[in-house]
């Protein structure tokens, strides 16, 4: 990694230590890291105020059109699946690429 980033090993180790100290990663062994809580906190903060169903609808619709399969967007909370986005199946449109009737629940 040092060569691909054109940085010395010391600089990489210092950077990894800083990321760990700020909880962006957590060390699991001498050469292994996992994403840390601060990274997830930032991701959650970035999503606040963003309507996930409306933001995901174009990508889900494109996937439906590309594959011909119906996709749903859901979350898992306490072992329950909560539907967040599903196509409005009452529409008379048969071509998924023109189907825009999405409902968020």
Residues 58 and 16 placed together within one structural domain of the fold:
no
My answer on whether 58 and 96 are in the same domain is yes
32 and 72 fall within a common domain: no
In degrees and rounded to multiples of 5, residue 84 shows phi and psi of -105, -25
Determine how many CB atoms are found less than 10 A away from the CB of residue 25: 20
The total domain count for the chain is: 2
Give the SS3 label for residue 71. Answer: coil
Q: Is 61 exposed, middle or buried (0-12, 13-18, 19+ CB in 10 A)?
A: buried
Shared-domain flag, residues 26 and 9 = yes
User: Which range marks the domain in which residue 58 is found?
Assistant: 51-104
In terms of domains, do 67 and 95 share one?
A: yes
Question: Is the domain of 58 the same as that of 79?
Answer: yes
41 and 57 share one domain: no
Q: Are residues 64 and 38 in the same domain?
A: no
Q: For 18-60, how does the pLDDT look when each residue is reduced to its tens digit (9 = 90+)?
A: 999 999 999 998 888 899 998 888 888 777 777 777 778 888 8
**Confidence category of residue 84, pLDDT binned at 50, 70, 90:** low
């Amino acid at each position: 990694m040092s060569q691909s980033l054109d940085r010395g090993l010391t600089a990489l180790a210092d950077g990894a230590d800083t990321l760990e100290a700020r909880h962006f990663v957590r060390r699991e062994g001498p050469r292994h890291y996992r994403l840390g809580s601060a990274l997830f906190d930032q991701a959650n903060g970035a999503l606040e105020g963003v309507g996930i169903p409306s933001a995901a609808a174009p990508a889900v619709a494109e996937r439906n059109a590309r594959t011909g399969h119906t996709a749903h967007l859901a979350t898992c909370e306490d072992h329950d699946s909560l539907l967040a986005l599903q196509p409005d199946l009452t529409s008379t449109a048969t071509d998924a690429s023109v189907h825009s009737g999405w409902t968020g629940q």
